Structure 1
Amino acid sequence: QPINANIAGINKVRNEYHVYMTDAQGKVVFDSAGSALGQDYSRWNDVWLTLRGQYGARSTRSDPNDDNSSVMYIAAPVTDSGRIIGVLSVGKPNLAMAPVIKRSERRILWAGGALLGIALLIGAAMVWWINFSIGKLVRYADSVTADRPVPLPNLGGSELR
């Protein structure tokens, strides 16, 4: 049965996960793709580390010559009375994450542009304020040099005094 779900604005039309379970020796006892049943996965990092009570994860290319064929796997121990009796591993193709990454990139670029615009506006306001205050001082100095009596300009509560 086809899937048609909208998850956070991204339309999902198929299940992209690969799930398999191994026994305590790393032999595959269940494979959602049906292609690895009975194979020895004990040397794959996700299985090997998890069987030793550590965090098990790996990223593997399904086609060694294709960078876009990478699949991320994360594993969890299957326990019985506190003893590890197997590993459950779930894999997801990196390509399936492309829409999420693309949307995030657009959001980051937009937010970065907005922050840059705000910084430019603040910078322009600061430059104008400093130039305006310095301009008052220059006009005062020019008046004093020309022997025109003028009062000291009011520069407000700024540091320019």
Structure 2
Amino acid sequence: MLGVNRFPRSRLFRWMALRHSSSKLFVGGLSYDTNEPVLKEVFGQHGEIIEAKVICDHKSGKSKGYGFVHFISKDSASKALAEMDGQVLDGRNIRIQYANKKEGCCNLNLEREMSRQITKGKDEGDEASQDLNVYHKVSFDHV
């Protein structure tokens, strides 16, 4: 199937691609004492940050030892990954990789937003409907 464009390039499809872009990093191996301001300060040296999040246990409120840093640009994320992976932060060697997008049922907010876009008086054959079909095919064929 050479020359066939499987993925339409509508505004909604571009939004989906950007939503799960490589500007978000997973940071593992964090010290349990590392908090969000520290994470933001350290990674902020590599570019502007949208959000720095340390994941905590719901019951105890204590860090689980990992978090996420979301940069404004892919270039900043790439630079941070290259320079920070394996470095020591609060006495621990941290591991960094690009964050994986959530698959399947965990991605309900994205699916709801796309459905909302489609049901705003659009036809079944429009680009948004095609994008939702592609999204379902890509996301749920693995399950």
Greater strand proportion = 1
TM-score (norm 1): 0.26
By relative contact order (CA 8 Å, sep 6+), the higher-ranking structure is: 2
**What TM-score results when the alignment is normalised by the length of structure 2?**
0.28
